[in-house]
């Protein structure tokens, strides 16, 4: 059983790329990828390691609590599973996940799977006991044995499926995306107790300090900067598309447009050296560090405006206490 109409292409965060490939193929989402990235809030996620190691790009928090609100804001039912592959019970969860991964493919929907990074399972062969995967970089099919499901070079596994969809009013979805962005911006650490990875506004300081002190891995720095540059362009394009839905959003868009335009040239100038595992020219690195300080100030202003927009409307999701209380034993 193979879903040949699914085509994943790496352009954004790998989770966004995988979700977009699956949802557009199943007619669950229409529009450009930057709209999915913006509405889901994934474009706003920004995480950086102290030494700019490349894995920090996907280390933006606990994936269950990060991805579920993102897909919920698209109005799509979603279920996921994952955990540490060393746990004694992981074999049982593996067999269960294999079953519902095949069921999802039978229903015409691919599955997001941690390869790493995130990719798409788009088919399976019961006779050979293999899944077919895409990572978005190489369009040749990759194979995953059923017995190896969930096993990779990292100590954890993860997969997510999608279901039916409900309609969310566009203005409500945009408002919630701003609130998800504010939450990310104001949360400095999402992988506690580890504080080597910073999120939101603190990620700017980690990025700036690593570059100023020249204490970073070049390729990881390039990947971190490249992802940052693309996500800020996505935010600007997204806000350009939706700015008429909420008063004040046009000004937020202008700030992100200015940020994107300013950082694009600075980052592009150093990427060839960094991706070649070389130190960029001193003048280019100094100019980039100066631009990062300016970019943080622009994003701080944008987030302050988003906060004002959010405060004009009730936020039932974050203010209503559940029937049994937030922490009541059930």
Q: Which domains can be identified in the chain, with CATH numbers?
A: 1-30+76-165 (no CATH), 169-314 (1.20.120)
Q: Please, which residues have CB within 8 angstroms of residue 202's CB and are 6 or more apart in sequence?
A: 188, 189
More confident residue, 326 or 23: 23
Q: Please, which residues have CB within 8 angstroms of residue 125's CB and are 6 or more apart in sequence?
A: 1, 132
More confident residue, 115 or 323: 115
Mean pLDDT on 212-232: 96
3-state helix, strand, coil in the chain (%, to 5): 50, 15, 35
* Residue 321: per-residue pLDDT: 65
E strands in the chain? 47-49, 76-84, 111-114, 118-125, 130-134, 142-145, 156-165, 197-199
Residue 325 has pLDDT above 80, yes or no: no
* Residue 316: per-residue pLDDT: 83
pLDDT tens per residue across span 47-106: 999 999 999 999 999 998 999 999 999 999 999 988 777 666 677 878 889 999 999 999
Please give the share of the chain, as a percent, with pLDDT higher than 70: 95
pLDDT tens per residue across span 158-214: 999 999 999 999 999 999 999 999 999 999 999 999 999 999 999 999 999 999 999
* Residue 92: per-residue pLDDT: 80
Q: Please, which residues have CB within 8 angstroms of residue 1's CB and are 6 or more apart in sequence?
A: 102, 105, 106, 123, 124, 125
Mean pLDDT on 243-270: 97
The whole-angstrom separation of Cα 266 and Cα 262 is: 7
Residue 281 has pLDDT above 80, yes or no: yes
Considering just the CA atoms, what is the radius of gyration of the chain in Å? 20
Write the CA distances from 26 to 22, 164, 200, integer angstroms: 6, 10, 33
Q: What predicted TM-score, i.e. pTM, was given to this entire model?
A: 0.92
Residue 328 has pLDDT above 60, yes or no: no
Confidence label for 5 from pLDDT (cuts 50, 70 and 90):
very high
Residue 322 has pLDDT above 70, yes or no: no
Please give the share of the chain, as a percent, with pLDDT higher than 90: 86
The whole-angstrom separation of Cα 11 and Cα 60 is: 18
Q: Which of 37, 38, 58, 36 is nearest to 47 (CA)?
A: 58
Q: Are 130 and 145 in contact (CB under 8 A)?
A: yes
More confident residue, 89 or 290: 290
Residue 329 has pLDDT above 80, yes or no: no
| End-to-end CA gap in the chain | 41
199 φ/ψ angles, rounded to the nearest 5 degrees: -125, 165
pLDDT tens per residue across span 134-160: 999 987 889 999 999 989 898 889 999
Query: Which pairing describes strands 142-145 and 76-84: parallel, antiparallel, or unpaired?
Result: unpaired
Q: Which of 19, 4, 154, 142 is nearest to 80 (CA)?
A: 19
pLDDT tens per residue across span 294-319: 999 999 999 999 999 999 999 888 87
Q: Are 177 and 256 in contact (CB under 8 A)?
A: no
Q: Are 114 and 156 in contact (CB under 8 A)?
A: yes
């Amino acid at each position: 059983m193979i879903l040949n109409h699914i085509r994943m292409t790496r352009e954004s965060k790998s989770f966004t790329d995988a979700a977009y490939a699956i949802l557009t193929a199943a007619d669950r989402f229409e529009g450009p990828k930057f709209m999915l990235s913006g509405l889901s809030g994934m474009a706003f996620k920004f995480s950086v390691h102290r030494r700019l190691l490349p894995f920090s790009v996907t280390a933006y928090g606990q994936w269950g609590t990060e991805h579920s609100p993102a897909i919920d804001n698209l109005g799509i039912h979603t279920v996921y599973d994952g955990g540490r592959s060393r746990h004694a019970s992981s074999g049982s969860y593996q067999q269960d996940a294999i079953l519902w991964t095949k069921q999802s493919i039978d229903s015409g929907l691919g599955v997001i799977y941690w390869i790493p990074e995130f990719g798409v399972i788009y088919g399976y062969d019961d006779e050979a006991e293999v899944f077919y995967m895409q990572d978005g970089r190489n369009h040749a099919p990759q194979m995953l044995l059923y017995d190896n499901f969930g096993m990779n070079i990292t100590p954890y596994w993860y997969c997510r499926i999608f279901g039916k969809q409900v309609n969310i009013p566009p203005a409500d979805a945009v408002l919630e995306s701003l609130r998800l962005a504010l939450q990310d911006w104001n949360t400095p650490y999402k992988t506690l107790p580890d504080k080597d990875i910073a999120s939101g506004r603190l990620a700017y300081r980690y990025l700036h300090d690593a570059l100023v002190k020249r204490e970073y891995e070049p390729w990881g720095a390039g990947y971190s900067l490249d992802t940052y540059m693309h996500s800020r362009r996505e935010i600007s394009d997204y806000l350009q598309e939706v700015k008429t839905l909420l008063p004040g959003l046009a000004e937020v868009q202008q700030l992100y447009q200015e940020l994107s335009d300013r950082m694009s040239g600075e980052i592009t100038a150093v990427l060839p050296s960094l991706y070649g595992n070389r130190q960029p020219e001193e003048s280019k690195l100094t100019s980039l560090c100066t631009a990062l300080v300016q970019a943080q100030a622009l994003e701080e202003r944008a987030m302050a405006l988003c906060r004002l927009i959010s405060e004009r409307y009730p936020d039932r999701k974050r203010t209503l206490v559940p029937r049994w209380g937030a922490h009541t034993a059930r």
